[in-house]
Amino acid sequence: AAARIGGGSYSVIIADIGLPDMNADVVLEELNLHGVLAGTLVVACSGHEASHPAVQRAVGLGAVFFPKPIDTLALIARIREFLRVRDA
């Protein structure tokens, strides 16, 4: 995953937990090892409950959890708040 997104810096990464090919928690662990997550808002979304182990791993890496279906207004508000604080 880190090789796919390159060495750039990102403001926001939105990752889905529970995909058949690769789970967000696995991707986030790899990105974390490569330092990609520093200073980045990571949003993990899933149909799983917050207590699911994959969700807990993502949250443990600093992700903010949004259950599906995603409350779009809450997601936008969270991103705006993160960017406002980061850029202050």
- Residue 32: pLDDT over 80: yes
Question: Mind listing the pLDDT tens digit for each residue in 35-74?
Answer: 888 889 999 999 999 999 999 999 998 999 999 999 999 9
Per-residue confidence (pLDDT) for residue 2, from 0 to 100 = 58
- Residue 75: pLDDT over 80: yes
| Helical H segments across 1-88, by residue range | 2-5, 24-33, 53-60, 72-87
Per-residue confidence (pLDDT) for residue 7, from 0 to 100 = 61
Tokens standing for residue 34? 């490569």
CA dihedral 3, 1, 31, 41 (to 10 degrees): 110
Question: Mind listing the pLDDT tens digit for each residue in 7-18?
Answer: 667 889 998 988
DSSP-derived 3-state class of residue 72: helix
